[in-house]
């Protein structure tokens, strides 16, 4: 009998558990549904369809818990055992953060919860967990199905205790499919703030110390585990300059350590060279360039200055720096994996300066591709001639798909990014939006043939990351939607970061993209029908998590039907 990859939970059809001694209620909730403090079991729709899981996949399960009196609980798991081994399970719980205001251009039907209010987002790893009386929380179970797991049925349990008392013993029953998750084909980058000031504030770590490098590796490991394979790299800051014979010389030892640190963490994809140009403040400020200059009188070490980009000193520095960087990249064999930013979101009169610096990249770094976030609603000539990887903002290229196709036919590549925009009916990853929007961002990648996704806000935390998730930027002119500034939370005790339920949904979407790519390899027409069913357009897509789950199940079943009769996994 053919194995079907169903992950089954007792109680997954709306059945809950009740412990009278502790007045504790527990019920399953789809992992794409956000659990709020006031939720009761009736707030969450019944799930009549099991969730499909494949080998190599990470599966998230969620259970709501509500106690009638204050209670501290712990959770222990007996790993699900099957034909030839166990499935590892990690248990976390979902903490709340306050949200004060909704994005101004999002209608109520595109949002969840109410403001001001508490919203689920950070995933805490420490137990015991405190349940406040009359308040609902969520337990988050992450099941890792090894790529080599034997297909079949796996049985386990998870137990909830208060001290020595066992309050509940709940079954897990998982059926593993013969389908194997293929390698990721999508480029993913979240930009992180690695500045000494930022990390000192949140971790007490000084830049370029051993603790600093360990922190980077720890964070890199978390992000790699969630599909990030591109790392923004501050190449000018990492270059250690010295002044010799009246000229700057560069030591790239720190750059090497940077790349090797993230490679070791698992981010072994593109080295994303940081922007050569910046601004003297926010988005509306004048363009500038930070460069190394000769030592001040009486000093031995070169210093950094911020100059006008057309200052001859800036242009001379960039000529020398790009040549030295290119020689080092070539020596290390990194040319093919290195991409170079010039200026983020060029607009207004900025393209003239952009072109000048992009031409320097072309001249001194032959074979290195350029990449930048752009607005395709604009029509700058350098898009075609000097920019290899277009990263347009979602919501501004709905009617420019043919221009994208022309760029791809010429050998160019196209990703997309989200930021403060888009809002309205578009997908994004704000805290007060449904999690399904986050997951479907990567169905959108597959639907429109876009090769990557970029988000600026990896860890741009405010001074109080768990209390203030609505940062203000652009010299006080822009209030960010909740969560736009960060996808993780600081964990200074472990010198790492905590995940969020948004980051988990992002990984789920990346894994969906891999399965869709696999189906496209075998049956492009069928893959296209799945994509159009889920993402009809940029603003018309499946909004119901249960309906999405049924379609996702059918996707895995379609892959099973394409497999060999013996059940051999795709390779």
Helix (H) or strand (E) holding 368: none
Backbone phi and psi for residue 479, each to the nearest 5 degrees, phi listed first: -90, 120
Give the Cα separation of 340 and 358 in Å (integer).
Answer: 9
pLDDT class for 50, splitting at 50, 70, 90? Answer: low
pLDDT of res. 396: 95
Does the pLDDT of residue 4 top 90, yes or no?
no
Give the Cα separation of 192 and 457 in Å (integer).
Answer: 7
The encoded tokens of residue 163 equal: 């001290």
Residue that has been written with the tokens 């998590």 in this structure: 545
pLDDT class for 431, splitting at 50, 70, 90? Answer: very high
Q: What is the pLDDT of residues 348-362, one digit of tens each?
A: 999 999 999 999 999
Yes or no: domain 6-178 corresponds to CATH 2.60.40.10: yes
Q: What is the pLDDT of residues 55-98, one digit of tens each?
A: 999 999 999 999 999 999 999 999 999 998 999 999 999 999 99
pLDDT of res. 564: 38
Q: What is the pLDDT of residues 484-532, one digit of tens each?
A: 999 999 999 999 999 999 999 999 999 999 999 999 999 999 999 999 9
pLDDT class for 298, splitting at 50, 70, 90? Answer: confident
Give the Cα separation of 519 and 528 in Å (integer).
Answer: 9
The encoded tokens of residue 317 equal: 């520095």
Mean pLDDT, the chain, rounded, equals: 92
Give the Cα separation of 56 and 510 in Å (integer).
Answer: 13
DSSP 280-319: SSSTTSPEEEEEEEPPPTT--S-EEEEE-TTSHHHHHHHH
Does the pLDDT of residue 103 top 80, yes or no?
yes
How does strand 270-273 pair with strand 230-233?
Answer: parallel
- In this structure, of 226-235, 271-280, 553-562, the range with the lowest mean pLDDT score is 553-562
pLDDT of res. 22: 61
**Residue range 269-279: mean pLDDT, rounded:** 98
pLDDT of res. 154: 87
Q: What is the pLDDT of residues 325-340, one digit of tens each?
A: 999 999 999 999 999 9
User: What kind of architecture, by CATH, is found in domain 187-270+321-426+445-461?
Assistant: Alpha-Beta Barrel (3.20)
Does the pLDDT of residue 382 top 80, yes or no?
yes
**Residue range 286-291: mean pLDDT, rounded:** 96
The encoded tokens of residue 442 equal: 């990567």
Q: How much of the chain exceeds pLDDT 90, in percent?
A: 85
Comparing C-alpha atoms, which of 187, 343, 321 is closest to residue 255?
A: 321
Neighbours of 10 (CB within 10 A): 13
Does the pLDDT of residue 265 top 80, yes or no?
yes
Q: What is the pLDDT of residues 403-428, one digit of tens each?
A: 999 999 999 999 999 999 999 999 99
Helix (H, G, I), strand (E, B) or coil at 195: coil
* pTM exceeds 0.85: yes
- E strand segments, 83-164: 85-86, 89-99, 117-124, 129-131, 136-144, 152-162
pLDDT class for 11, splitting at 50, 70, 90? Answer: very low
Backbone phi and psi for residue 213, each to the nearest 5 degrees, phi listed first: -65, -35
Neighbours of 237 (CB within 10 A): 17
pLDDT class for 10, splitting at 50, 70, 90? Answer: very low
Q: Do 350 and 357 contact (CB within 8 A), yes or no?
A: no
- Rg, C-alpha atoms of the chain: 25
Does the pLDDT of residue 2 top 90, yes or no?
no
Q: Do 437 and 428 contact (CB within 8 A), yes or no?
A: yes
Q: Where are the chain's structural domains?
A: 6-178, 187-270+321-426+445-461
Please give the angle made by the CA atoms of 235, 193 and 342, to the nearest 5 degrees.
40
Q: What is the pLDDT of residues 168-218, one digit of tens each?
A: 998 888 888 899 999 999 999 999 999 999 999 999 999 999 999 999 999
Q: Do 290 and 299 contact (CB within 8 A), yes or no?
A: no
Q: What is the pLDDT of residues 445-491, one digit of tens each?
A: 999 999 999 999 999 999 999 999 999 988 778 899 999 999 999 99
């Amino acid at each position: 009998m053919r194995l079907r990859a169903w992950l089954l939970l007792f109680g997954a059809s709306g059945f809950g558990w009740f412990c009278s001694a502790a007045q504790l209620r527990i019920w399953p909730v789809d992992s794409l549904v956000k659990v709020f403090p006031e939720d009761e079991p009736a707030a969450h729709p019944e799930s009549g369809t099991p969730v499909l899981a494949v080998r190599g996949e990470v599966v998230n399960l969620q259970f709501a818990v509500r106690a009638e009196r204050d209670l501290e609980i712990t959770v222990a798991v007996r790993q699900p055992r099957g034909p030839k081994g166990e499935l590892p399970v990690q248990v976390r719980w979902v903490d709340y953060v306050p949200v004060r205001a909704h994005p101004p251009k999002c209608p109520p039907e595109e949002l969840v919860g109410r403001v001001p209010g508490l919203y689920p987002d950070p995933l805490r790893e420490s137990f015991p967990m405190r349940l406040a009386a009359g308040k609902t929380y969520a337990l988050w179970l992450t099941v890792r199905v090894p790529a080599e797991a034997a297909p079949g049925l796996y049985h386990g349990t998870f137990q909830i205790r208060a001290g020595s008392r066992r309050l509940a013993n709940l079954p897990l029953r998982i059926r593993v499919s013969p389908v194997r998750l293929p390698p990721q084909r999508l480029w993913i980058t979240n930009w992180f703030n690695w500045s000494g000031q930022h990390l000192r504030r949140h971790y007490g770590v000084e830049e370029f110390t051993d603790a600093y490098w360990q922190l980077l590796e720890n964070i890199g490991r978390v992000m790699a585990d969630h599909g990030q394979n591109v790392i923004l790299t501050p190449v000018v800051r990492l270059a250690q300059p010295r002044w010799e014979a009246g000229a700057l010389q560069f030591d790239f030892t720190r750059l090497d350590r940077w790349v090797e640190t993230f490679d070791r963490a698992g981010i072994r994809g593109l080295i994303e060279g940081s922007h050569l140009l910046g601004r003297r403040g926010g988005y509306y400020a004048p363009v500038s360039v930070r460069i190394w200059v000769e030592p001040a009188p009486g000093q031995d070490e070169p210093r950094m200055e911020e100059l006008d980009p057309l200052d001859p000193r800036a242009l001379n520095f960039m000529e020398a720096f790009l040549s030295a960087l290119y020689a080092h990249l070539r020596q290390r064999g990194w040319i093919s994996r290195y991409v170079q930013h010039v200026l983020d979101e060029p607009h207004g009169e900025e393209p003239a300066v952009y072109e000048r610096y992009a031409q320097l990249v072309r001249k001194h770094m032959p074979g290195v591709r350029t990449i930048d976030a752009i607005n395709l609603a604009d029509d700058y000539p350098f898009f075609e001639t000097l920019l290899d990887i277009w990263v347009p903002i979602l919501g501004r290229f709905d009617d420019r798909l043919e221009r994208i196709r022309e760029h791809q036919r010429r050998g160019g590549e196209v990703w997309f990014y989200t930021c403060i925009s888009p809002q309205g009916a578009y997908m994004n990853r704000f805290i007060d939006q449904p999690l399904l929007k986050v997951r479907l961002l990567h169905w959108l990648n597959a639907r429109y043939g876009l090769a990557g996704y970029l988000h600026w806000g990896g860890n741009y935390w405010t001074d109080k990351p768990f209390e203030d998730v609505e940062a203000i930027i652009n010299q006080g002119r822009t209030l960010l939607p909740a969560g736009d500034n960060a996808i993780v939370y600081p964990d200074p005790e472990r010198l790492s970061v905590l995940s969020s339920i948004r980051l988990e949904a992002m990984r789920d979407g990346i894994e969906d993209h891999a399965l869709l790519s696999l189906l496209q390899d075998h049956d492009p027409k069928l893959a296209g029908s799945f994509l159009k069913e889920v993402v009809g357009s940029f603003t018309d897509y499946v909004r119901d998590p249960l309906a999405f789950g049924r379609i996702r199940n059918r996707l895995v079943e379609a892959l099973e039907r394409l497999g060999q009769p013996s059940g051999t996994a795709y390779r």
